[in-house]
A and B are shown apart, each in its own frame.
Chain A
Amino acid sequence: MAAKSKHVVDFAKIKSTMSDPYKKPVQVIDETGKIVNQELFDQFSDDELVTLMEKMVWERALHEQTMNFSRQGRLGFYAPTYGEEASEMGIAHAMKKQDYLFPAYRDLPQLIQHGATVKEGYLWSKGHYQAYDYVRRGVRAFIPQIIIGAQYVQSAGAALGIKKNGEKDTIAYTFTGDGGTSQGDFYEGINFASSFQAPEVFFVQNNGWAISVPRKTQTAAETLAQKGVASGVPGVQVDGMDILATYLVAKEARDFAVAGNGPVLVETLTYRFGAHSSAGDDPSRYRTKEQEKPWFDRDPLIRLRKVLTDKKLWDQDKEDKLVAQYKDEFKEAMKDAEAAPKQKVSDFLKNTFEVPTPDVAADIKKYEAKESK
């Protein structure tokens, strides 16, 4: 046996370079508002730029008003979206009505952009069956998923269903966060969609935190975008605080999937400015103001606001008026939500099976009698 030999395999080199292709986040405007990719920037008309800004302002206003309602005790579970406006609205803007959306619990803004109403979002938070009335209107969206990972396998099935139905220009798309990429279902979903070459775009909104657990604890992989490669799924990182970049990447990913090339995985680099949820999470227990500061400097509204202001397409007065208008709409939506009818256990029982089982039928009678009093 040779005393000393070269490594048979240079694992150290593989390990130190394997993430390289994924570490080039797409960016159009940087955090100072400087256009860093003029060619990509030139793809946007002035109207489109304004529309994208309006959508972010809408989401920010929705968050602020919703937190107000939450503090007033008028809502149940709510996952703040503060800081993730560029990621969420950039993607939402790239999708089409015929696409199937599988959101998770932090994705109410995309769900509303896809056709649900703000009232339904509030009813979801409060816990009322009319939250899901959007399905009755033909909106192609599933529930905001609670069991993180489940939306990945389900959307892969929908993507296969779309393919089998021969529907053109249609995809399934779904969201999870950095924590969600550790779930078995995350891998199963990506891998199934890839195996079937189904039209799907998987989004990972890497906001740095799974409640209190930082991104680095989830995996030693340097990027989450690279998690597709083992399944034969191309992945990319995008600056998730740059709505122009997230929109362009999401659109390109959708086009790729629609063309029959199989699924794509997109990691948006963003940040959860607020708490995990409105139910008592306190970020000061696990992260410092100093850690937060550079991310607040990357606020997605600041940079686009600057670009638009420089182009004389935007001013503070316009933004203030929009915010006031949106918030009035949200207040109306909350009034409507609060006027939702009292729920009946007998209705839940009737919706357990198409044909009630004997036990369920007996319970329906029992609860109907109670409810008629």
Chain B
Amino acid sequence: MAKMTYIKAITNGLDQVLQDDPKTLIFGEDVGKNGGVFRTTEGLQDKYGEDRVFDTPLAESGILGMSIGLALTGWRPIPEIQFMGFTMEAVDSVGGQMSRNRFRFSGDVTMPITIRTPFGGGTHTAELHGDSLENLFIGIPGLRVVTPANPYDAKGMVISAVENNDPVLFMENLKLYRSMKDEVPDGHYTVPLDKANVVREGSDITVVAYSAEVNEALKVADKLEKENISVEVIDLRSLSPIDDETIFASIDKTHKVVIAQEAQKMAGAGAKVASDIAENDIMSLDAPIGRVSAPDSIFPFAMAENDWLPNADDIEAKVREILNY
């Protein structure tokens, strides 16, 4: 057990799967000698060699397309797309190809591919680096979309993703990479890919969030505790599928819910959560479902990011609004 940043926890998890399974391969732009532009794969090429950890030409569709051919020939690819904004170049490889193969071949062909990609605002990057594009991907059947919110989950979930026999889009939050430290166990352990996590228990209201918004929600819970308001915080972890069971169990207790996400509001994970609650558990609520999200504009210019990204203040305001309904 050691204290580790979120990014080091991912590196540690990748090290573990490279060690455990000789068929795993890590590849992408700058992942080899350079260890990735964020150093997520630092030291792995030295340790496992250029056959297992290697750089590719600069072409995202090529990277994810070749992953399919590698999977067909018996490999377990872990491609990196350098920034999630770049996945736009490779949507066919994901939605048109790899996620359909189990279906096409009635289970005879599997695609154990983990696509790692950093996303998320607040780090003042260039355009199409910080976008939360999960809304584009969670509607693809056959693809799991997951994102950890802390270092412990980051390692356990990356191991689960690689060991899963279906394609997984593994989203890593840029802002969390080095801003969080946590106790992370040595060696092999897994965190389930389809189970939401009650990160803080409470009784007055439930906040459902994922990735960096989980931390924002926890700040709100800390603050409101001083006013004797008890906030339960759920980390979705998985955006596709959504673990409704955990959410419903929580709102059956609190009867109020706020759903917070950094992505735009249209057709995303929050919309799916709201819809599932409305469809299956609406009678548990005694107030409307609250939503906190970025507005439905293009991800903003870097200097305006802080005005655009939803934060703890936005969550707090919405929580108070729903509590006072």
Contacts and interface: CB of A to CB of B under 8 A. Distances in A.
A135 B72 CA distance: 11
Interface string B43-72: 000000001000011010110111111111
Given A188-B65, A192-B66, A352-B102, A135 B108 contact: yes
27 contacts: A100-B72, A135-B105, A147-B92, A150-B96, A150-B97, A152-B65, A153-B61, A153-B66, A153-B93, A154-B97, A156-B66, A157-B67, A157-B68, A157-B70, A158-B73, A164-B25, A164-B51, A188-B65, A189-B65, A191-B57, A351-B103, A351-B106, A354-B102, A354-B164, A357-B194, A358-B241, A358-B244
Contacts of B25: 164
Interface of A: 100, 102, 129, 132, 135-136, 142-143, 147, 150, 152-162, 164-165, 172, 184-185, 188-189, 191-192, 195, 347-348, 350-355, 357-360
A353 B109 contact: no
B73 A191 contact: no
Given A351-B103, A353-B142, A135 B57 contact: no
A358 B57 CA distance: 38
Contact of B241 (A100, A136, A189, A357): A357
A192 B69 CA distance: 12
Given A157-B67, A158-B72, A161-B70, A358 B243 contact: yes
A230 B226 CA distance: 66
A184 B90 CA distance: 11
B151 to A, nearest CB: 26
Nearest to A159: B69
Interface of B: 25, 51, 56-57, 59, 61-62, 64-75, 92-93, 96-97, 102-110, 141-142, 144, 164-166, 194, 240-245
Contact of B74 (A129, A143, A161, A350): A161
A188 B69 contact: no
A215 B104 CA distance: 32
A107 B104 CA distance: 18
Given A158-B73, A165-B74, A359-B241, A353 B102 contact: yes
Given A157-B69, A161-B74, A351-B106, A192 B141 contact: no
A354 B165 contact: yes
Given A150-B92, A155-B69, A353-B142, A189 B62 contact: yes
B62 A153 contact: yes
Given A185-B65, A348-B103, A357-B194, 15 more contacts: A142-B72, A150-B96, A153-B65, A154-B72, A155-B69, A157-B67, A158-B69, A158-B72, A161-B72, A161-B75, A172-B69, A347-B106, A350-B107, A351-B103, A358-B245
B288 to A, nearest CB: 24
B94 to A, nearest CB: 11
B73 A132 contact: no
A161 B242 CA distance: 34
Contact of B62 (A100, A147, A185): A185
A38 to B, nearest CB: 40
Contact of B56 (A129, A161, A192, A360): A192
A160 B70 contact: yes
